[in-house]
Amino acid sequence: MFAYVLLLVAVVSRVVPHPACFSFTAVGGSLLYFGARRSWWQGIFPIAALAATDYFLTVYAYNYPFHVQDYLVTWAWYGLAMGIGFVALRRNAGAVQVLGASIASSTSFFLVSNFMVWLGSAMYPQTVGGLGSCYLAGLPFYRNDLMATALTAGLAFGVPALIRRTREAQEQSSGQIAA
């Protein structure tokens, strides 16, 4: 159930107005958590919810025409992020694994999304220098996404683990007192 709540947080974090330079959403962390905690076939829900959010933002918030082909790579990345969660965090979601999955998730999105911007728009020349300029322009967003993904995933996996360890310690200490 918590995976769906976190997905809702991700959608809201994208829809609530915020400065473009802030670019701090719960998308990456929620996809990692969803992939680690839900079955593979349930992955359609986050992809559908985030695709609907893409449509809403494009048409109603940014007032651009919506073209499905412009989002296919992004939607595939949503599945990839859940796959990273499934492979890296399903069995062991320790701090090192969560941090590694967060880095892999954010870095893959940075590389793929900026490459697609360079490839599909006239913003940058179709040269190696243009590709470098595109990646350079995306670095502030990458930094924010990396922090948001690590924070979201860290809290999603860390808080329940901390609660569990606290309960176990309390049960152990109350057992020692009774003995």
Q: What string of pLDDT tens digits covers the 179 residues of the chain?
A: 899 999 999 999 999 987 766 778 999 999 999 999 999 899 999 999 999 999 999 999 999 999 999 999 999 999 999 999 999 999 999 999 999 999 999 999 999 999 999 999 999 999 999 999 999 999 999 999 999 999 999 999 999 989 998 998 888 877 666 55
Indicate the length of the chain as a whole number: 179
How far apart are the C-alpha atoms of 26 and 145, rounded to whole Å?
9
66 phi and psi angles, rounded to 5 deg: -100, 125
pTM of the shown model: 0.91
The pair of three-digit structure tokens given for residue 113, joined into one six-digit string: 């999304």
pLDDT of 3-20, one tens digit each?
999 999 999 999 998 776
Judge whether 88 and 102 are in contact, CB under 8 Å.
no
Give the chain's largest Cα–Cα span: 75
**Structural domain spans, the chain:** 2-178
State in words which class domain 2-178 has.
mainly alpha
